[in-house]
A and B are shown apart, each in its own frame.
Chain A
């Protein structure tokens, strides 16, 4: 058995950096950036080594599955002999893959932020939050039990809250941070309920034990969980659906997606790290982690599939109408995570059926790279232009040649054009969907075309559309060059990763259970690529040169365009439900009851006591003659009693 306990260092380093920069960072502002980057570099090297050791030096077990190794396990809380909560490190194919993804993107973002956040007053605070986030995210992916995962799950939520609200003097940032926190917290309620139901039936919190017990078709535990019925579905189905609600909240699935576009109020590198590459895929990771259990319950998996497919199409349509470049990217992220979700939904567990699972994990990997690249590229553009609006951009290809190239590569990758990485992963998901459910396949294909369209709409609006000489409308945009070198290195690195990662034989490494033989379906590949190509061509016609056609089309579509532009009124619906329905029907009566009945009872008791004591205290006047009067009255009364009554 190989020793993997050094993976603990991958967690401890960011935690140490968080504590150091958090406590002492104020004194060494610029040093905290270097410290954070160096720490992340060490963590990244360790996780690369872990991946090397696991995938290259290690091998599949006798049952053709990658081994699951518990590298460390420590009992943390012992409530009773049966109920204990452990902390540990679980090494299996998806957790090693996530370690690589998280540390890579985090390292790039740390490096990028040195110049992007330069001169910021709370520079060291920013770095300590980044380290806190990295620590929690890494802790989440290596969790051995569901409770440990839940803890780190909340920690990433907190770090996301802190970083979205980083510019806390801006009211919109504060509102966005609150929204992100409340929406995900609300979803986590479902997650917690799911954990409780699942661990109640499986009598364990440990992932391996849960999976082992739930995979046992004839075991009493599985039968008990599957036969206990509540409102037409088994307890296990409920548990999995509730856990999926938690995942959907973090991963911004419809209808809990509303927080992610607003979360773009945070600094752009944060959006790249948290809201594109790592934290938002935690929901996908959660479903993947419990995938063996999900695969037992087709109904729960169907929920995952339909929610994922609908979200991907829904968000793609909204993305076409947004004008803030970060919001376009945010909706594109939602759409791509929807892809991963329905990739899991169409997957099976054994053998070749597990194509969807591998494809989903593959897409998670490639998406992390190219979406982080897109965000960092967008960050460079925003840094140069000092604006988020597409209208202020255009014709930047001469001014920002490097950003132009990397952005183009990332756009081609997300559009699924070979040989860029997105093609391979999307192709796998679509093939799996084709084999499982034609409707989902059609939705995926349409989404692919729309994705290509809005990404190239974005690309052309930033880098073409206007003559190069008119680029950069603001005068101060020319004061500095394209980007400092610490911003260019991450762009180049992620660009290379985007180019190369498609060729990783991912199905060898990450599968649901055993070996996966993939046949290459040429017609399906042609369909997917041509869908992407159609999107790109339409975008080229409309946006390569300045033209009035987009406005005309928008005018023709009228109300459809309007509703997509207003994000299909989901935010308004939420406002209506929370402010009108919930407030008027629940909160207002509850407040009335509280004010009048609960408070009223307390006030009544207080009033009675007060009035009574007001009466009583006049006896104690401090006037001796008064006391004497009462004394004599009492004495006379007593003597009358004694003489005549007793």
Chain B
């Protein structure tokens, strides 16, 4: 069981590094990278629980592959949004883009 704990600790650390990065960085690209970190932490969780608890099933692996695919699409969309924001505001600094409240 201790093996599983170590790996979960890694994914826990990875997730909160992502949260921390998302909250503290102002650059949108960096924030996107932080989101990817969080996603990967979740992926690790899936794999770990599948491997150690339900070794006879494959659901966790499928989910992980699924999430990676979605994350790729999401990154493409996010970057497209960021490019458009840059054209409009001439910046990708999250502080300067506050028109969402309207």
Interface of A with B (CB < 8 Å)? 620-625, 628-629, 632
Q: Which residues of A lie under 8 Å from residue B23 when comparing CB positions?
A: 625, 628-629, 632
- Also in contact, A620 and B94, with CB within 8 A (given A625-B23, A628-B23, A629-B23): no
Shortest A343–chain B CB gap in Å is: 80
**Is B19 part of the binding interface, using a Cβ–Cβ cutoff of 8 Å?**
yes
Give the residue name and chain of the A residue nearest to B22 (CB). Answer: A628
Q: Quick check: A620 and B101 within 8 Å, CB to CB?
A: yes
Rounded to whole angstroms, the CA-CA distance of A85 and B51 in the bound complex is 93
**Is B3 part of the binding interface, using a Cβ–Cβ cutoff of 8 Å?**
no
**Is B2 part of the binding interface, using a Cβ–Cβ cutoff of 8 Å?**
no
Q: Quick check: B22 and A621 within 8 Å, CB to CB?
A: no
Rounded to whole angstroms, the CA-CA distance of A241 and B38 in the bound complex is 92
Further 10 A-B residue pairs, CB within 8 A, beyond A621-B101, A625-B94, A632-B19 = A621-B98, A622-B97, A622-B101, A623-B95, A623-B98, A624-B31, A625-B23, A625-B26, A628-B22, A629-B23
Give the residue name and chain of the A residue nearest to B25 (CB). Answer: A625
Set B19, B22, B94, B102: member contacting A623, Cβ < 8 A: B94
Interface residue tally on B, bucketed by range: 10 to 19
Rounded to whole angstroms, the CA-CA distance of A629 and B19 in the bound complex is 10
**Is B99 part of the binding interface, using a Cβ–Cβ cutoff of 8 Å?**
yes
**Is B100 part of the binding interface, using a Cβ–Cβ cutoff of 8 Å?**
yes
Shortest B93–chain A CB gap in Å is: 11
Shortest B41–chain A CB gap in Å is: 14
Give the residue name and chain of the A residue nearest to B94 (CB). Answer: A624
Q: Which residues of B lie under 8 Å from residue A620 when comparing CB positions?
A: 101
Set A622, A628, A629, A632: member contacting B98, Cβ < 8 A: A622
Q: Which residues of B lie under 8 Å from residue A622 when comparing CB positions?
A: 97-102
Rounded to whole angstroms, the CA-CA distance of A632 and B98 in the bound complex is 20
Shortest A487–chain B CB gap in Å is: 75
7 intermolecular pairs with C-beta atoms under 8 Å apart: A620-B101, A621-B98, A622-B99, A625-B22, A625-B94, A628-B22, A632-B19
Give the residue name and chain of the A residue nearest to B19 (CB). Answer: A632
Rounded to whole angstroms, the CA-CA distance of A629 and B26 in the bound complex is 14
Q: Which residues of B lie under 8 Å from residue A623 when comparing CB positions?
A: 94-95, 98
The B contact surface, by secondary structure, is helix
Rounded to whole angstroms, the CA-CA distance of A625 and B94 in the bound complex is 8
Shortest B50–chain A CB gap in Å is: 22
Rounded to whole angstroms, the CA-CA distance of A330 and B64 in the bound complex is 105
Give the residue name and chain of the B residue nearest to A629 (CB). Answer: B23
Rounded to whole angstroms, the CA-CA distance of A625 and B102 in the bound complex is 17
Q: Which residues of B lie under 8 Å from residue A629 when comparing CB positions?
A: 23
Top 5 closest pairs, chain A to chain B, by CB: A622-B98, A622-B101, A620-B101, A622-B100, A624-B94
Rounded to whole angstroms, the CA-CA distance of A629 and B101 in the bound complex is 16
Shortest B79–chain A CB gap in Å is: 16
Rounded to whole angstroms, the CA-CA distance of A620 and B98 in the bound complex is 10
Q: Which residues of A lie under 8 Å from residue B19 when comparing CB positions?
A: 632
Encode contact with A along B6-36: 1 for CB under 8 Å, 0 otherwise: 0000000000000100110010000100000
Rounded to whole angstroms, the CA-CA distance of A629 and B22 in the bound complex is 10
Give the residue name and chain of the B residue nearest to A632 (CB). Answer: B19
Shortest B29–chain A CB gap in Å is: 14
Q: Which residues of A lie under 8 Å from residue B97 when comparing CB positions?
A: 622, 624
Rounded to whole angstroms, the CA-CA distance of A632 and B24 in the bound complex is 13
Shortest B52–chain A CB gap in Å is: 21
Rounded to whole angstroms, the CA-CA distance of A632 and B31 in the bound complex is 15
Q: Which residues of A lie under 8 Å from residue B94 when comparing CB positions?
A: 623-625
Q: Which residues of A lie under 8 Å from residue B95 when comparing CB positions?
A: 623
Q: Which residues of A lie under 8 Å from residue B22 when comparing CB positions?
A: 625, 628
Rounded to whole angstroms, the CA-CA distance of A446 and B22 in the bound complex is 107
Q: Which residues of A lie under 8 Å from residue B100 when comparing CB positions?
A: 622, 624
Give the residue name and chain of the A residue nearest to B24 (CB). Answer: A625
Shortest A504–chain B CB gap in Å is: 86
Q: Which residues of B lie under 8 Å from residue A625 when comparing CB positions?
A: 22-23, 26, 94
Shortest B60–chain A CB gap in Å is: 21
Rounded to whole angstroms, the CA-CA distance of A235 and B98 in the bound complex is 75
Q: Which residues of A lie under 8 Å from residue B101 when comparing CB positions?
A: 620-622
Shortest B19–chain A CB gap in Å is: 6
Rounded to whole angstroms, the CA-CA distance of A623 and B26 in the bound complex is 10
Give the residue name and chain of the B residue nearest to A620 (CB). Answer: B101
Shortest A76–chain B CB gap in Å is: 57
Q: Which residues of B lie under 8 Å from residue A632 when comparing CB positions?
A: 19, 23
**Contact residues, B73-102 vs A (CB, 8 A):** 94-95, 97-102
Rounded to whole angstroms, the CA-CA distance of A623 and B95 in the bound complex is 6
Q: Which residues of A lie under 8 Å from residue B98 when comparing CB positions?
A: 621-623
Give the residue name and chain of the B residue nearest to A635 (CB). Answer: B19
Rounded to whole angstroms, the CA-CA distance of A621 and B26 in the bound complex is 15
Rounded to whole angstroms, the CA-CA distance of A623 and B28 in the bound complex is 12
Rounded to whole angstroms, the CA-CA distance of A628 and B23 in the bound complex is 7
Shortest B17–chain A CB gap in Å is: 14
Q: Counting chain A CB atoms within 10 Å of each CB, which of B23, B26, B31 scores highest?
A: B23
Shortest A10–chain B CB gap in Å is: 69
Q: Counting chain A CB atoms within 10 Å of each CB, which of B26, B98, B102 scores highest?
A: B98
Rounded to whole angstroms, the CA-CA distance of A623 and B23 in the bound complex is 11
Q: Counting chain B CB atoms within 10 Å of each CB, which of A624, A629, A632 scores highest?
A: A624
Rounded to whole angstroms, the CA-CA distance of A628 and B19 in the bound complex is 9
**Contact residues, B26-70 vs A (CB, 8 A):** 26, 31
Rounded to whole angstroms, the CA-CA distance of A624 and B100 in the bound complex is 9
Q: Counting chain B CB atoms within 10 Å of each CB, which of A622, A629, A632 scores highest?
A: A622
Give the residue name and chain of the A residue nearest to B100 (CB). Answer: A622
Q: Which residues of B lie under 8 Å from residue A628 when comparing CB positions?
A: 22-23
Shortest A625–chain B CB gap in Å is: 6
Rounded to whole angstroms, the CA-CA distance of A622 and B99 in the bound complex is 6
Rounded to whole angstroms, the CA-CA distance of A624 and B81 in the bound complex is 14
Shortest B89–chain A CB gap in Å is: 12
Rounded to whole angstroms, the CA-CA distance of A623 and B93 in the bound complex is 11
Rounded to whole angstroms, the CA-CA distance of A265 and B2 in the bound complex is 110
Q: Which residues of B lie under 8 Å from residue A624 when comparing CB positions?
A: 31, 94, 97, 100
